[in-house]
Structure 1
């Protein structure tokens, strides 16, 4: 993968790339949106704690496909209020801390999810270059 961040446009607001180029023939994995629902059914308070669960779930899905955070080429995240952006972004940045090629990212504010206690949802695309 190759991050694309042209110098002719303003830099990204945070830790992501404006574009990502994938090699031809890449193997792709697409996750469903993950909510801050722990395995035991609990939902912690706050966007950062919920996003940490989202990213842990995503990592489990990727590991089942023999991939990891370094394979993520795009993240889409949804929060229910601007106040939740900082917590989500902290969890996202921790998830991407050791990733050499930053993915693209979209963050959208939505009116809500299936249950009122959920404040963040995250989904990703991941890619692995052909051998």
Structure 2
């Protein structure tokens, strides 16, 4: 599989350095659509801080990907749902770290979560 990021410079605004406008996927034989994943521990208990939430989210995503014999290298799209606009910066830092600097199309949305202790929810699409 080949994943090719696209961020044209003509006719559209430039992306910041932490995401791509689009991802072309060639030769993929399978896709994995991961539902919104929260910062909950193995017992379903929410982390206490934003940093802990983000660490648990990416740990949970890695476990889900591993169950399909994939890694974060297979991620081709990320959508984040943030309870507060102030979470955007830390969320971007955590995403960049989790993806080891690899850029993918991403969207962050500020939304009310279903439970008050869910600070961030992230869904991904992976291809392999």
TM-score strictly above 0.5: yes
The aligned residue for residue 110 of structure 2 is 109
The aligned residue for residue 77 of structure 2 is 74
For the aligned residue pairs, the C-alpha RMSD in angstroms reads: 1.6
The aligned residue for residue 53 of structure 1 is 56
Residues 66, 55 of structure 1: alpha-carbon distance in 2 compared, 3 angstrom cutoff: same
Unaligned runs of 5+ in 2: none
Q: Report the TM-score when normalising by structure 1.
A: 0.87
User: 1:22: how far off?
Assistant: 1.0
- Tell me the secondary structure at the aligned position of residue 114 of structure 2: coil
- Tell me the secondary structure at the aligned position of residue 81 of structure 2: strand
The aligned residue for residue 90 of structure 1 is 93
User: 1:106: how far off?
Assistant: 0.7
Q: Report the TM-score when normalising by structure 2.
A: 0.88
Instruction: Confirm whether residue 39 of structure 1 aligns to residue 42 of structure 2.
Output: yes
Unaligned runs of 5+ in 1: none
Contact 1:48 1:90 in 2 (8 A): no
Contact 1:31 1:123 in 2 (8 A): yes
